[in-house]
Amino acid sequence: MPVSDPQRNLPRGPHGLSRDEVLRSQHSRLIQAATDEVAERGYVNTTVAHIIARAGVSRATFYALFADRDACFQAAYDANAALVAWVMEEELGRVRSAKDQKPLERLDRVLRVYLEALRDSPTLARVFLVEVYAAGPTAIAQRRASLERFIDIVAETHRGETGLLGTRKDQRFAAEAVAGAVSFMVTNAVAAGDFDQLVDLRKPLMRLAAQLTAV
C-alpha cells in the first residue's frame, strides 16, 4: 500500500512530459523518500541530503517544492494519513450498505482493514504512528487531526444507535475511548516492531468495544 509510485525515476532524455507532470513525479518521489528515510533512520537523524539522494532529485528541485525538511515530512505525513483514512472509509462505505450487519460487526470490519493496512505497510505505520511525535508541534497537530478523523469513523459505525457509542455529541466520549485504546495499543506494537502481531489486537479491542457499548 505505497503512498505513491515509489522510486520511479523519470526516463532519461526526452520524455514528452509537461512541466507539471515532472513536478508531480518529483513531488511524489520526495514524499516517498521522506517516508522511507524517516522510517529507517528516525526523524531526528533524517536530513534533506538523505531524502534527495533516495528520491533521485537535485537539492534545487527539493527547495523548489518544499521550504525545508519539516515541510516535506508534513506533506509525507498528510499523504500517509489520507491513505490510511481512505482504506477505512472505503470499508465503512461497504459496511453501511450491508443492512443486516450489527454496529459492532461494522466496527470489527473497519478495525480489521485498519490493522491489516498497518501490518502490510510497516514503513507507513512507523511514520504515521511513531516518528510523527518527533517532528514538532505542526506534525503533532496533524496526528491529532488524524485521530479525530479516526474517531469520526468509529462513531459512524454506530450511527443511529441509542447506546454509548454513536455520532451524537453525548456519544463522542465513547468513540474517543475506543479510538484511543486502538491508537495506544497499535502505536506500542509498531514502536516495538511487532507488525505481525497487529492483527491479533483486533479481538481484544473488539471485546473492549463490546463491553463499553453493553454498559
pLDDT exceeds cutoff 80 at 122: yes
- Provide the percentage of residues in the chain whose pLDDT is more than 90: 80
Q: Identify residue 209 by its one-letter amino acid code.
A: A
**Position 3 confidence tier, pLDDT thresholds 50, 70, 90:** very low
Query: What is the predicted pLDDT for the residue at 97?
Result: 82
Cell of 171: 456519544
- Residue 94, sorted as left (phi over 0), alpha (psi -120 to 50) or beta, turns out to be alpha
Alpha helix stretches (DSSP H) within the chain: 19-41, 48-55, 59-65, 69-97, 103-120, 122-129, 137-156, 172-191, 202-214
pLDDT, tens digit, 9 for 90 and up, residues 150-161? 999 999 999 998
Whether residue 201 lies inside any domain: the answer is yes
The answer to whether position 112 is within a domain reads yes
User: In this predicted structure, what is the pLDDT of residue 2?
Assistant: 42
Whether residue 87 is contained in a domain is answered as yes
Domain membership of residue 192 as a residue range: 69-214
Q: What one-letter code names the amino acid at 99?
A: K
pTM: 0.86
Determine the pLDDT at residue 100.
Answer: 81
The band of 18, judged by pLDDT with boundaries at 50, 70 and 90, is low
pLDDT tens digits, one per residue of 151-206: 999 999 999 988 899 999 999 999 999 999 999 999 999 999 999 999 999 999 99
pLDDT per residue as tens digits for the range 85-97: 999 999 999 988 8
Tell me the pLDDT of the chain averaged across its residues: 89
Which CATH number do you get for residue 185? 1.10.357.10
Whether residue 22 is contained in a domain is answered as: no
What's the mean pLDDT in 17-35? 85
The DSSP-derived string for 31-55 is HHHHHHHHHHH-TTT--HHHHHHHH
Residue 215 has a pLDDT of 61
Residue at 196 is within a domain: yes
pLDDT of 1 reads 42
Is residue 58 in a domain? no
Kindly report, residue by residue over 57-74, the tens digit of the pLDDT. 999 999 999 999 999 999
Residue 181 lies in a domain: yes
Specify if 41 maps to a domain. no
The count of domains in the chain is 1
Average confidence (pLDDT) over 129-138: 96
Residue 6 has pLDDT above 50, yes or no: no
